[in-house]
Chains A and B, each alone.
Chain A
Amino acid sequence: MDPQTHNPPAAGLAAAPDAHEHSGDKYQSTFITKYIFSQDHKMIARQYLITGIVWAVIGALMSVIFRLQLGFPEEDYAWLRPILGKWIIVNSDGIGSIAPDFYYAMVTLHGTIMIFFVLTGSLSGTFSNLLIPLQVGARDMASPFMNMLSYWLFLLSTLVMGASLFVSTGGFGGGWTHYPPLSALPQAMSGSGAGMTLWIVSIMLFIASVLLGGINYIATILNMRTKGMSLWRMPLTTWSFFVTAIIGLLSFPVLLAALALLTFDRSMGTSFFLSEIFIGGQPLDHIGGSAILYQHLFWFLGHPEVYIVILPAMGIVSEVLAVHSRKPIFGYKAMVYSIMSIGFLSFLVWAHHMFMSGMNPFIGNFFVVATLIIAVPSAVKVFNWIATLFQGKISFTTPMLFSIGFVSMFISGGLTGIFLGNSAIDIQLHDTYFVVAHFHIIMGVAAFFGTFAGVYHWFPKMFGRFMNETLGKIHFWGTMIGAYIIFWPMHYLGMAGVPRRYYRFDSFQAFGQFDSINQLITIATIITFGLQVLFILNFFFSIWKGRKVTSLNPWKANTLEWTTPITPGHGNWEGPIPEVHRWAYDYSTKGAIEDYVPQHHPVERQGAH
């Protein structure tokens, strides 16, 4: 079936006059303009994805290193010395151990890289870039140049972060939350010197990148939808990218401001966050600042940030579940409204990270209520996903498996959020392994599962080939089981009160009795990390050697990206942009010949919807 034949001659609003010039690849005729400084949203998406994969591997390797320390602190790590150099301390008996400074730098950079670079930069960068123009029917982003700039700032920021590990005082080790005074005073920790300066520079560049990207996504969605693509006809992927971009645009500048003030405190003698500090043998002059103020500023970004991470994954999963169950997503409008209300509420819950920070406990009341309200739209989304499976015709493809895995993880991680959002319980669970388990399951593993689902599902659109399904399935089951074995037992550690960010546990009776759990987690981490090699092999192998896509619409999906050529060129559609006549979820409608009706198919007069 050739979708082109259904296209009415009228093109959308987007770039219609010069459409033909673009499809002639005038703008990407050389290797450099095509593959490096590309302004094509699809190429930028691939750049984001591959950069993200590289950083995900580095971030995961860091977790393997600190898990070694947590699981087997007595082991001899002298063999790591050729790679890690002075960060492995070798004692007089020749036994090497991981230096605490290095351990904390690993913990910090693991969090920073995974949250900012992989799950914010790369996840949004890949799929918003790839899918927004293709799904709303646009030739490219509103500003392709800004889009390119966004990627290069992103890459630059990751390189600065990487470099911060190699300064002589080491990378920053105060946690990705980088609370002052620890992050403000080089005397407090060796990583808080040059390492922290580079950390700040890197995150500032990153914020610029996110803002450039976000403005672009919003402008493209609002202004460049093809004819007939009303907001209420957009697929949930685009909806979630849209709301994600808005959240990012409103919250990231606050972190930028906070980082600027922190820089002033670090180098210009101001006292925004510092007061009455005696460190390194002498009192500092800073008086009147508030360390808690910084936490408010940070979490005003920090909490929306977790929705910036999870919303795109939710959108991807909603789309994949519908396509592979051959059913409309259940409660489309409820899904959109819950994305919106999650987006809105995400700005009203930040201080639930700060119940035990010393802020007035009375304020906590408000944030408890707001936090538990946000559980309602989240619950609605879970029920809708499950209802989408009901009476479907489910193909167990790899993207579908990852989507089911996502829902399972989202349930497990979401429910533990109800414990932590309740301030009374948080007294005991705050900053314990319960928190680590919670956020890794819900925004680490779940967001990764959403990413994997998206990669396996849209790989044919990105590279014109399929990824290997068998390898994909081994990857899925291995990761699913491995991730639960890693993070589930952490709940028990947390309930026992074991604090997070400890270099070792044996100095305390209460925390030192769980060696076997820690060893289990470490071994599972190494195996699960090893399994990701399978994904990487599969990914790069399939780019060149994967099974070729032979039909325009291999998953028989309704959205517009599948009306483009198998490997769309610059400008996406060779002819005019298709016009949209229906929503994105006409799967298995009664009376239709096939079990799907793409969005550009005209509605017959007496037709459904």
Chain B
Amino acid sequence: MTALLVLLCVILIGIIVVQIGKVTELASKIRGEEEAQERTNRTQAGYSMIFMVLFLIGTVVSALYYKDSMLWYGPNESASAHGGSIDYIFNLTLFFTGIVFIITQILLFYFAYKYRARRGVKAEYISHNNRLEVIWTAIPAVVMTFLVVGGLEAWNEVMADVAEGEDFIEIEGTGYQFAWHLRYPGPDGKLGARDYKLISASNPLGQVWSDEKNLDDFHPSEIVLPVGKKVRARITSRDVLHNFYIPHFRVKMDAVPGMPTYFVFTPTITTEEYRAKLGALDENGQPKYPEWHQPSDPDDPESPAKFEVFDYELACAELCGTGHYAMRRVVKVVSEAEYQDWLSKQQSYYESTIKGTDNDPFATEAPAEAEALTDASQDMEEAPAEEAAAE
């Protein structure tokens, strides 16, 4: 019934609008076409100016309104070492394009308004102006060069792989439909070999158990990282494309089946520090970011405030199927001591799940095969904890 009523209303409105159209057309016929056109020009030119003013105000005001939650100011600050350089280029670009945006929009609508057709006024024959055209070709070219150089400098720095002999933690994220499977290298600091043909329910990553480096690898349910330490994320996929995306770290890289990719980053703010920042009070004792002080569960006013339960998140940013929107993993950034504490509590996947079961390759025979591989893994020493903390 309501649907019918709505439909009826819509049809009625349609008819009314069509009638208005017909009436104004008739009126213009009576009044004389030229005068009608001049009236139209006046009103439409006026609308253009009103639109321009409201539009520009709207863009600026909305930008300021959403600044806190969005524009990489305030709470949405990057939490990684390289993030700042990306945010800087972003803001630099915003500055230049903002100027161009406002000037060109104003000129466009103002010229349209100013040079509306009026009786007795003729248009000026201006076909081109070489000097002007050279200038306005050169200016964007120069500004672009400036932005490109800045952008590429940041790009090449951000995308560089770890250097030889550098101290870093390697972690691995494997996308599959629809979650991230995480792997840490364990005490030896090295991830073991994988073969996708070995993947099974008990061996979700297809780890090759004859590779000794695999035996201490563990599979946590969340990423835990020490603050201030370089991390190399090895990113792979088991089935279709995924994308390893941690928005607060400005980290994003596709996971491609059959071709491991990587992203190197250094977390700079611990989860606790970030929570404190979100919950901060200004000089008047008022919350700086009130939206983060709302209860985390909207139905329960007693639930902890949003900032108290804030976590960095790992998401998927490459359409991978129907569950694409739900590939969440928590990322925790902690102090070095907490990290070591957490590490010591992790049990290797082999120890916890494989050892002693039917799937254990070592259950029946001695690991003769594995011995050959130990040489390679021995020269990799685990980074001393003190050194990392001093950084």
Contact = CB atoms under 8 A, between A and B. Distances in A.
Q: Do A and B bind each other?
A: yes
Interface of A: 79, 100-101, 104, 173-175, 179, 181-182, 185, 188-189, 274-279, 283, 287-292, 325-328, 330-334, 356-358, 361-362, 364-365, 368-369, 372-373, 375-376, 379-380, 382-387, 389-396, 401, 404, 407-408, 411-412, 415-416, 418-419, 422-425, 427-428, 430-432, 468-471, 473-474, 477, 480-481, 484, 488-489, 492-493, 495-497, 499, 501-505, 507-511, 513-514, 530, 533-534, 537-538, 541, 547, 585, 587-590, 595
Nearest to A380: B137
Contacts of A185: 239-240
26 contacts: A182-B241, A274-B257, A275-B258, A276-B196, A277-B239, A289-B258, A326-B123, A330-B129, A364-B155, A368-B148, A376-B141, A380-B137, A425-B89, A428-B252, A430-B317, A474-B17, A488-B59, A489-B62, A503-B322, A503-B325, A505-B325, A507-B328, A509-B309, A510-B247, A514-B69, A534-B14
Given A380-B137, A533-B14, 11 more contacts: A174-B319, A278-B176, A365-B155, A368-B148, A391-B123, A411-B101, A422-B155, A424-B158, A468-B25, A474-B17, A505-B325
Interface stretch (B47-55, B220-228, B358-366, B383-391): B47-55
Nearest to A361: B159
Given A291-B257, A428-B86, A428-B247, A396 B107 contact: no
B155 A415 contact: no
B105 interface: yes
Q: Which of A469, A480, A499, A507 has the most CB of B within 10 A?
A: A499
B238 interface: yes
Contact of A507 (B37, B105, B258, B326): B326
A355 to B, nearest CB: 8
A358 B259 contact: yes
Interface string B229-258: 000000100111101010110111111111
B202 to A, nearest CB: 13
Nearest to A374: B144
Interface string B68-102: 01111000100000000110011001101100110
A290 B309 CA distance: 41
A382 B137 CA distance: 11
Interface of B: 3, 10, 14, 17-18, 20-22, 24-25, 37, 40-41, 44-45, 47-48, 51, 55, 58-59, 62-63, 66, 69-72, 76, 85-86, 89-90, 93-94, 96-97, 100-101, 104-105, 107-109, 111-112, 115-118, 121-129, 132-133, 136-137, 140-141, 144, 147-148, 151-152, 154-156, 158-159, 176-177, 196-197, 199, 206, 235, 238-241, 243, 245, 247-248, 250-259, 261, 291, 306, 309-311, 313, 315-326, 328
A509 B313 contact: yes
A504 B112 contact: no
Nearest to A355: B155
A470 B253 CA distance: 50
A504 B197 CA distance: 34
Contact of B324 (A325, A334, A387, A501): A501
A391 B259 contact: no
Contact of B125 (A327, A332, A503, A514): A327
Given A425-B151, A533-B14, A404 B97 contact: no
A181 B196 CA distance: 15
B18 A471 contact: yes
Given A325-B123, A358-B261, A373-B144, A427 B252 contact: yes
A394 to B, nearest CB: 5
Contacts of B17: 471, 474, 534
A425 B125 contact: no
Contacts of A276: 196, 257-258
Contact of A330 (B86, B94, B127, B313): B127
Chain B interface helix/strand/loop/mixed: helix
A585 to B, nearest CB: 7
A480 B152 contact: no
B123 A100 contact: no
A188 B240 contact: yes
Contacts of B85: 424
A442 to B, nearest CB: 13
Contacts of B25: 468-470, 547
A411 B104 contact: yes
Contacts of B325: 502-505, 507
B89 A365 contact: no
B41 A396 contact: yes
A391 B126 CA distance: 9
A-B residue pairs, 9 tightest by C-beta? A275-B258, A497-B247, A396-B44, A361-B159, A422-B151, A276-B258, A391-B124, A389-B111, A393-B123
Contact of B108 (A379, A386, A425, A470): A386
B196 A389 contact: no
Nearest to A329: B127
Given A404-B48, A422-B93, A333 B321 contact: no
A396 B116 contact: yes
A326 to B, nearest CB: 4
Nearest to B10: A530
